[in-house]
Amino acid sequence: MRIAPYLFALALSCFSPTAQAMEWRSVDKAMLAVLQDDDINRYRDEPAFLEGISVSEIRFSENGFDWHLIRFASDANIEGPLWVVPHDDENAAFEAMIAALHKYGGVGITVNTGPASTRRQAGYGLCGVRSAMVSACDPNRNFDERTPIFTRAILDAWKPGRPFIALHTNSHGFVGDGAGGRGDITMLDAMAYASGEIVARVDGYFGTRSVAILDNPDVYAILPYVATKAISDGDTQCRNAMNLAGINVWHERVGKSDGSLSNYVALQRPDIAYVNFEAKREDDLSTAAKAQGLMIDAYLEKCASLWGQPKPVPVSNR
Q: Identify the pLDDT of residue 185.
A: 74
pLDDT in tens, 5-50: 444 444 444 444 443 457 899 999 989 999 999 899 999 889 899 9
**CA distance linking residue 14 with residue 2, whole number of Å:** 19
pLDDT in tens, 250-282: 999 999 999 999 999 999 999 999 999 999 877
Domain span at 133 = 5-307
Q: Looking at the domain assignment, is residue 68 inside a domain? A: yes
Q: Looking at the domain assignment, is residue 20 inside a domain? A: yes
CATH number of the domain encompassing residue 292: 3.40.630
pLDDT in tens, 79-128: 999 999 999 989 899 999 999 999 999 999 999 998 777 889 999 999 99
For the ranges 219-228, 268-277, 306-315, which has the lowest average pLDDT?
A: 306-315
* Residue percentage of the chain with pLDDT more than 90: 66
The residue among 306, 300, 299, 277 whose CA lies nearest residue 289 is 277
Residue 242 near residue 274 (C-beta atoms within 8 A): no
Q: Looking at the domain assignment, is residue 138 inside a domain? A: yes
Q: Looking at the domain assignment, is residue 313 inside a domain? A: no
Q: Looking at the domain assignment, is residue 224 inside a domain? A: yes
**CA distance linking residue 107 with residue 100, whole number of Å:** 10
Q: Looking at the domain assignment, is residue 123 inside a domain? A: yes
The model's confidence at residue 286, banded by pLDDT at 50, 70 and 90, is confident
Burial bucket for residue 292 (CB in 10 Å: 0-12, 13-18, 19+): buried
pLDDT at residue 177 tops 60: no
**CA distance linking residue 250 with residue 37, whole number of Å:** 32
pLDDT at residue 314 tops 80: no
Q: Identify the pLDDT of residue 312.
A: 66
What secondary structure letter does DSSP report for 44?
A: T
pLDDT in tens, 204-219: 999 999 999 999 988 9
**CA distance linking residue 174 with residue 146, whole number of Å:** 31
pLDDT in tens, 149-168: 999 999 999 999 899 999 99
Split into its structural domains, the chain has a count of: 1
pLDDT in tens, 66-81: 999 999 999 999 999 9
List 274's β-bridge partners, or say none.
164
Q: Looking at the domain assignment, is residue 300 inside a domain? A: yes
* Residue percentage of the chain with pLDDT more than 70: 85
The per-residue DSSP string of 152-203 comes to HHHHTT--TTS-EEEEEEE-SS-TTSSS---SS--SB-HHHHHTT---BPTT
Q: Looking at the domain assignment, is residue 87 inside a domain? A: yes
pLDDT at residue 55 tops 50: yes
Q: Identify the pLDDT of residue 117.
A: 73
Residue 81 near residue 300 (C-beta atoms within 8 A): yes
